[in-house]
Structure 1
């Protein structure tokens, strides 16, 4: 029996628009069998998601998407199948959320200087009140007429050189991987083709990730073209890594990144879930 895996998704615990419970319900309706909730720098939504999945056919995997600064840019490392109660992991994630809090206030200050008042307060209303991301600012800006849509708003206001850009100061690559490993999980480079790195730089990233103990690349992603999926599968083979698959689902507002619609892994890619037992897959919450 072929199961449907989606190992990259978000809820209102970070910048998704569905609650963890509603995300689980939607995943079930979309035909997903194994789901990882991978909110940005937090595991806050896992308990609610686990309760929602209990007694259903859905297998929930504990997950997180950790923000990392590497090679002068931000990359994301997904952790899967770890113990969410691990103290070292939680201390590390708390450090990142503290920076996120300052960054959100600074984005608000910079947008105010550009003539956009109350952006911080506006973004906060779109969030859970605890973690405010650039996506929350983007929703505020779009809904208040500063940009036509979510695809354009980042380029207009929130990327390097734009009024609301604040450079990230995130975790080091080896620290992020160590947090995940130390909690009994497996580390994955999220949507590697999206970083627009040169071939040399991407191979260097993958090499350092592998040396740190990382085990997989996200080969299938909603942000990867078919050619990019096959390229990432080749990189996974070159570095003896396994392959993961995730939509990076944030909610119904982004239909191009939907649950239950992922392409299959290329035939020559080794799935990260090969050899997983039920005990390995189910979130320890």
Structure 2
């Protein structure tokens, strides 16, 4: 019988940001569905990476340390994935601590806006769902569900928390994509633009590659259709041929929990050939030399 090598997922979240499971529990779930390579890419924090790596060693899963930086470009939210970076670096940790503080201030403003529309939610209600990491709008959504104001996270965003809705609050200072790329480079990491179908910025991706050292594109995200995947495969190939360079293609489930996403799915549905993880690990080792 031919062995299945499609056991890689390079994009997932834990309770260190807005995921539903602690890193240890998340890794146990990864083991149950047969994943062999995973990357923990929490939003603006690496606080769950150590626990994930230690659990992965016990379970026989290779954990690639990662992060998903939240940035803004021309008014659009753009996420940049960083892999293999020095997550214990003091300078990086200090910067990320500042990001957490801004998220806490943002929460206070969101709570005021919720009160203005008649929804009584306290900081304690929200922090109940935060496991010492990044505070995000999904945590607010969970508090709204517990209070009985909405039925699920999707409804919370649609009515109150999404951009353009009455309780949306932008971050105090949005990091530019170039700044995130610079941090990843300084930490000897590998940079990938996440789920590019969200942005419609194909020409700009080439600029990030040529001018700022972007290492690749998340081609195989779970929200990418077959046509989207073919499109980004071709885009990567065009950039490579035009500039005589080699780029990485990555992908993953962007798993937070079973009810998350445009089309919710359980862990283990979106998965890649192990080749993609091995290519990423090889690139990380080259950067760290």
TM-score strictly above 0.5: yes
Corresponding residue of 2:253 = 247
The more displaced of 62-71 and 222-231 is 222-231
Corresponding residue of 2:190 = 186
Matched, 1:203 2:202: yes
Partner deviation per Cα, 1:174-205 (whole Å, 9 max, x = no partner): 1101111111110111111123x3xxxx1243
Corresponding residue of 1:76 = 79
Corresponding residue of 2:281 = 276
Structure-to-structure mapping, 1:129-140, within 5 angstroms: 129-140=132-143
Compute the displacement of 1:234 (Å).
1.8
Gaps of 5+ in 2: 241-246
Corresponding residue of 2:107 = 104
Gaps of 5+ in 1: none
Question: Of Structure 1 and Structure 2, which has the larger fraction of its residues in helix?
Answer: 2
Corresponding residue of 1:161 = 164
Corresponding residue of 1:228 = 228
Contact 2:162–2:168 (CA<8 Å) still a contact in 1?
yes
Contact 1:119–1:137 (CA<8 Å) still a contact in 2?
no
Contact 1:7–1:36 (CA<8 Å) still a contact in 2?
yes
Compute the displacement of 1:130 (Å).
4.4
Structure-to-structure mapping, 1:17-96, within 5 angstroms: 17-96=20-99
Partner deviation per Cα, 1:52-83 (whole Å, 9 max, x = no partner): 11243210100011111111121111111111
Contact 2:190–2:284 (CA<8 Å) still a contact in 1?
no
Within 2, Cα distance between the matches of 1:63 and 1:121?
29
Corresponding residue of 2:243 = none
SS of 2:234's equivalent?
Answer: helix
Corresponding residue of 1:212 = 212
Q: 1:117 to 1:219 in 2, by over 3 A?
A: same
Within 1, Cα distance between the matches of 2:26 and 2:106?
27
Within 1, Cα distance between the matches of 2:155 and 2:225?
20
Q: 1:91 to 1:135 in 2, by over 3 A?
A: same
Q: 1:277 to 1:243 in 2, by over 3 A?
A: closer
Aligned residues between the structures: 272
Compute the displacement of 1:37 (Å).
0.5
The more displaced of 165-174 and 144-153 is 144-153
SS of 1:239's equivalent?
Answer: helix
**Cα RMSD between the aligned structures?**
2.3
Partner deviation per Cα, 1:104-129 (whole Å, 9 max, x = no partner): 11111111111111243322112125
Matched, 1:260 2:273: no
Which of 83, 107, 118 is equivalent to 2:121?
Answer: 118
Contact 1:220–1:245 (CA<8 Å) still a contact in 2?
yes
Within 2, Cα distance between the matches of 1:119 and 1:74?
27
Contact 1:107–1:120 (CA<8 Å) still a contact in 2?
no
